[in-house]
Structure 1
Amino acid sequence: MLTKPAHKPKRGFTPDIIVVCLICLLPLLWLVWRFLQNDLGVNPVETLVRQLGVWGLRLLVVGLLITPVARIFKQPRLIRWRRPVGLFAFAYVALHLTSYIAVDQFFDWGRIWADIVKRPYITFGMIAFVLLIPLALTSFNAAIKRLGGVAWRNLHKLVYVIVPLGVLHYFLLVKADKTMPLVYGGIVLVLLGWRLWRWIRRKV
């Protein structure tokens, strides 16, 4: 789901992919457990919605991080982790949006549309989600074959727009302490800067 495909991936769930999937699933299980235990604070719905979004953003950032780590430490096998991490990121973002629509707004489409139009952080979040959908739908080998490698890679470069939009969404959402959104923004800036540096080196 993130950047270009490397060598042809192995079929099936290898042990390392299973471990990656289990790790990605842990935050959701922890949130569900806390929700059932009434341990999400004075506003559990807001906490649930926000935490699902935060974990979606974290996994998107991790997806961006995998390629530099694989290149710098010469571990090409790590590239195979991008797909499950990216798909779990999409799942968390989709749950974030679904919980906002269903649990927070009770499917009040008028209010939801008003939020999208009037609140910039929701506007940017919705744009990021819409851009994320085609990446999730084309994260499988059949889609790569159908689109062709060049078109697939170009499409998945949308992630370089999606992740900054996610950070901006989070930054505008937080009203008080903006430390964490700024931290994520700094990390994303470094990761995108690394890619730009490599691109410039190839062109020189």
Structure 2
Amino acid sequence: MLWTLSCYGCEVIDTPNIDWIGREGARLSQFFVNSAVCTPSRGTFLTGRYPHAHGAYRNNLPLDRDEMTFAEVFRRKGYDTGYAGKWHLDGMARPGWVHAERSMGFEYARFMFNRGHWKKIADTDMDDCEPTIFPYREFGDETTYPTDWLTDKTISFIRKERDKPFCFMVSIPDPHTPFQQEGYTTRCWSR
């Protein structure tokens, strides 16, 4: 992904928001992951342990229930914790929303989903109902495309928690297949 960010020298794609994060935060130039696939890598990120130790050493294996995650550590220290996006740490559980008992320390996990290669998610009219997930063949617009939709949920959480200590993780399912672009992104690059 580095070669697509202007803060790392890309001259083709303009990424001003990520460039700002790069200027104001930390930019890494040498790093690695313990696994090239998402489930073991996400499990390692959450626990700080190698995939063979936390149990999710390949896709479709669950993270061991007794694993301590950084979210649980923050929660115990009084932080409000939240998660939105692809979870995929429930093993062979069907695609869909993750049950609260499997949220591993993330108290606000309403928008945590298992598997999750959908390209359209839409809110329902009722606050207490789960959002609607659309099948692979449909993809969204600026309000329903997962990247935008999850970003909006993240911003809402941050604004709500801004006066309290919080820890929030967002896991954008892109760049997973199916590789579909949003309409406005396609229009931007078709010039």
TM-score (norm 2): 0.32
Of structures 1 and 2, the one scoring higher in RCO (CA 8 A, sep 6+) is: 1
By percentage of residues, which structure has more strand? 2
